[in-house]
Amino acid sequence: MQLQSMYQEIILDHYRNPHGRGLREPFEAEVHHVNPTCGDEVTLRVHLDGDTLADVSYEGMGCSISQASVSAMYELVVGRSVPEALETGEHFMTLMQSKGDASVAEKLEDELEDAIAFAGVSKYPARIKCALMSWMALKDASARALAATTPTGGDEA
């Protein structure tokens, strides 16, 4: 059975006991993202302190991969600056595009922490978007939060 390569114990742990789950105040931006082919959903809030992600809070429903991914992401990005977090998101995207290439996972192992467990998902094209949904939501929410908190960053005059 190949399933264990995708459903690592770390993933199932995050799914059963999600970290940082629940929507919290304060926040500067809230986004709702869906995976339209299957109905996975996440509502995600970002609270900034300067350009640091002081909190990322979320509610969601969906498959184990999508829900475990947002939990692992929470652990990885809170307390980091937005550019750092988005760079990590880019690296997570690289991992998802690796088609199971172990050398890619090896290089990213230290940076991605628990999220490296999603390497096995990259062999299943239909599930990659489940794993990426929360990272897309974070990118969207961070951009909106920065626009809302940076005096010169928004259009509102």
Partner 1 sequence: MTQTVSRPGAGAQQVPLPLDVEAIRADFPILSRTVRDGKRLVYLDSGATSQKPLSVLDAERDFYLTCNAAPHRGAHQLAEEATARYEAARATIGAFIGAPAEEVVFTRNSTEAINLVAYALSNAATAKEEQFRRYAVGQGDEIVVTEMEHHANLVPWQQLCERTGATLRWLGLTDDGRLDLSDLATVVNERTRLVAVTQQSNILGTINPLGEISARAREVGALLLVDGAQSVPHQPVDVTTLGADFLVFSGHKMLGPTGVGVLWGRYEVLDALPPFLTGGSMIEVVRMEGSTFMPPPQRFEAGVPMTAQVIGLAAAVEYLQQLGMDRVQGHEEALTAYALAKLAEIPGVTVIGPPDTVARGGAVSFTVEGIHPHDVGQVLDDLGVEVRVGHHCAWPVVRRYGVPATTRATFYVHTGYDDIDALTDAVREAQRFFGVGQGEVS
Residues lying near partner 1 in the complex (CB under 8 A) are found at 1-3, 6-7, 12, 16, 37-41, 61-66, 124, 127, 130
Alpha-carbon distance 56 to 38, whole Å? 24
Residue with tokens 């690289």: 94
Nearer to partner 1, 82 or 131 (CB): 131
CB of 39 to partner 1, least distance (A): 5
Alpha-carbon distance 71 to 51, whole Å? 21
CB of 36 to partner 1, least distance (A): 9
- Token couple for 101: 């290439």
**Which candidate, 32, 14, 15, places its Cα nearest to that of 23?**
32
Nearer to partner 1, 2 or 152 (CB): 2
Q: What is the dihedral of CA 91, 97, 102, 103, to 10 degrees?
A: -60
CB of 66 to partner 1, least distance (A): 8
Nearer to partner 1, 34 or 136 (CB): 34
How many C-beta atoms surround the C-beta of residue 86 within 10 A? 18
In DSSP terms, 46 is beta-bridged to 29, 56
CB of 99 to partner 1, least distance (A): 16
Nearer to partner 1, 12 or 153 (CB): 12
Nearer to partner 1, 18 or 47 (CB): 18
CB of 14 to partner 1, least distance (A): 14
Task: Provide the residue type at 130 as one letter.
Answer: C
